A and B are shown apart, each in its own frame.
Chain A
Amino acid sequence: MKGFVRETGRVAAMPGANIDTDVIMPKAFLKGIDRSGLAVGLFHDLRFDETGAVRSDFILNRPDMADTRFLLVGPNFGCGSSREHAVWGMLQYGIRGIIGSSYGAIFADNAANNGLLLLSLPVAEVAALAAQLEDGAGDMTIDLEAQRIETGAQATGFDIDPATRRALMLGLDRIGETLTHADRIRTFEEAYLARKPWLMDAGSDERIS
């Protein structure tokens, strides 16, 4: 996982509430067994029409948006299905950070697990940032270390959960971290299952009957 400390790039405004993971990564791209090839699926049905032609009115298709790195989004972004493909597609497309007021909870966890930075700002601050963009686009720096968004001459501070910030900056292997507590897990599990034996392996139907 690539760490995130300070990144600079294009930002695209995609307002609208409840942009769900079906829209972010349509089902046609979910038939793989690996994580590859998802950049083309990102916002596919907004980027391309039924014939496969590029929709020129979609912001990411504008010539000046080729290297979009950040999205400025509406409330409840990433709601819906648990499909992590949405986050993998973002990263493969080149999106490194999203700024919005709220997110679907599973999407937010998926983002944190993959090094995609999600910033949650009050609705008014998201609107203020959008107002600074010309025609919905502009350049921006997100400094995770300093907890600051820089646009032109202005800078906005942000709060972020310290554990998420640390994991993003270091690009941590969370499973490896958890397994350092393996003894604690084992001790807990033995006592827990002894206390509640009905939660043990339910076995097969054949063994039960």
Chain B
Amino acid sequence: MSAPKTLYDKIVDEHRILSFDESGGAGERLLLYIDRTVLNEYTSPQAFSGLRAAGRTPWRPSASLGVVDHVNSTNPDREAGQLDDGARRQIEYLGENGRDFGIEIFDLFDPRQGIEHVVMPELGLVLPGMVIAAGDSHSTTYGAFGVVGFGIGTSDIEHLLATQTLVYRRLKTMRITVDGTLAPGVTAKDLIMEVIRRIGADGAAGHAVEFAGDAIAALGVEARMTICNMAVECGARVALMAPDDKVAAYIEGCPRAPSAELFARARIEWDALRSDPGARFDKEISLSAGDIPPMVSWGTSPDQSLAITGRVPDPDDLPPERRADAVRAMAYMGLAPNMALQEIAIDRAFIGSCTNARLSDLRDAAEILRGRKVAPGVRAMISPGSSHVRSLAEAEGIDRVFTDAGFEWRRSGCSLCLAMNDDSLAPGERCASSTNRNFEGRQGIGGRTHLMSPAMVAAAAVTGRLADVRTLAAAEPAR
């Protein structure tokens, strides 16, 4: 009998065309077959230009999909011409590349348009056992389906388009086991923020991380996507979860998913997609779900996060190697040591991004907003993760919960997550955000971002400051 294998190694082995060194272990250099990619308008242009310059064509055009998501406006009236010249050129060039090379493109006005990591799963294009590489770091999202998903740069996009492969180095493996039950008001976002806080922004560097344990199994597929999406913020190159019945049910019936007999055949294989008992991981970490509180970030790296009930740290209490970064982050964020997090007033609230703008996220936030109003002086925006999510939400009336509360009901796009469009923070503006990165200048030069779950953003929006969602969930809103 062969040695027990991890899920990650099983998938890599299935996609190994040839090995350059035949080492078989972590670090093995191999040629990896890639099942699918999704292209966006801002990391793909130079890849297509490279193909054109070399006279090359895509190896398998039907394995690619192009989506406009990063630079577009989320203005409800998209015809109004809010695109700057650069954005317009990038969108036009994506369309031109699709036409010239036979790649399907969802442009701004396509009913299937949305953020790439929301669109791919909702179409059924993400299937267990696949390898999906794409020009966006949050391609780890697909791990929720038992998929080796990872972000690549533009040169590698060109390589992938031309050869359907990547020259790949096998990662080390890490298992993060989460047992127990999440407390009321605590979500997948809090779970992954706690993992990042605990292991650090590079704590999983060089590793494929498998999330396991009954707390993960208890989560819905969209919540699992949130965890895999944000695993890149602790340096994970790949995040993985073994697919189960919930994953199969999520995929079945999606527009592009295999149907009937093919689906049944596929399912037999998917059931074997799990780490073998006794499989060895290079690193093991475990945590107890019940200990995790609602989290917010206070600094400028996703690992600078704390329980909402906590206080901004005193740099003198931090380990020496973290002190200088904490001082710098505090200065940027305009915070003083020992300030209670719940005393921090906000100017903006944003729900959106590939991390937290799926239907279940919108429902979570709407639960808190129902019968409440956004605090005076706070500008609140919600940008659904895709045009499809937007229409589903409208069909169940959630849009009105948001608009009644005083949120702007926007169109879909990456939007204020990285503010490559016209949604951007002004210098000094402070934002409660359901996104994934609180980097300096990320949401606008001088803008200050606090990461949290969608429900926590809703709580912050109505109280006008960082707030503990549990106190609002318990209270009856004024109607």
Contacts and interface: CB of A to CB of B under 8 A. Distances in A.
Interface of A: 15-18, 20, 22-23, 26-27, 30-35, 45, 50, 75-76, 79-84, 87, 102, 104-107, 109-110, 113-114, 163, 174-175, 178-179, 181-182, 184-185, 188-189, 192, 196-199, 201-205, 208-209
Contacts of B159: 113, 174-175, 178
B151 A82 contact: yes
B62 A201 contact: yes
A26 B441 contact: yes
Given A31-B87, A45-B445, A105 B206 contact: yes
B71 interface: yes
Contact of A31 (B84, B303, B418): B84
A110 B129 CA distance: 26
Contacts of B259: 208
Given A15-B324, A174-B159, A199-B127, 14 more contacts: A17-B201, A18-B303, A30-B420, A31-B86, A32-B45, A82-B135, A105-B206, A175-B56, A179-B163, A184-B31, A185-B164, A189-B164, A192-B33, A198-B266
A209 to B, nearest CB: 7
A83 B43 contact: yes
A35 B46 contact: yes
Contacts of A17: 201-202, 301, 321-322, 325
A20 B439 contact: yes
A113 B155 contact: yes
A175 B321 CA distance: 41
Nearest to B424: A27
A22 B158 CA distance: 22
A119 B303 CA distance: 25
Contact of B256 (A16, A197, A202): A202
29 contacts: A17-B321, A17-B325, A22-B418, A22-B437, A27-B419, A30-B420, A31-B420, A33-B46, A34-B46, A50-B446, A76-B235, A83-B42, A102-B202, A105-B206, A109-B153, A110-B155, A175-B158, A178-B165, A178-B167, A179-B162, A179-B163, A184-B17, A185-B59, A196-B269, A201-B63, A203-B62, A205-B123, A208-B259, A209-B255
Nearest to B304: A18
A208 B206 CA distance: 39
Contacts of B18: 181, 184
Contact of A105 (B87, B130, B235, B437): B235
A23 B89 CA distance: 24
Contact of A84 (B43, B235, B325): B43
Nearest to A74: B325
Contact of A34 (B43, B49, B56): B49
B246 interface: no
A10 B20 CA distance: 36
B439 A199 contact: no
B369 interface: no
Given A32-B45, A106-B137, A113 B441 contact: no
A178 B54 CA distance: 14
Given A22-B441, A79-B202, A175-B162, A202 B46 contact: no
A75 B203 CA distance: 11
Given A18-B202, A18-B325, A33-B90, A185 B17 contact: yes
A82 B127 contact: no
Given A16-B325, A17-B325, A208 B156 contact: no
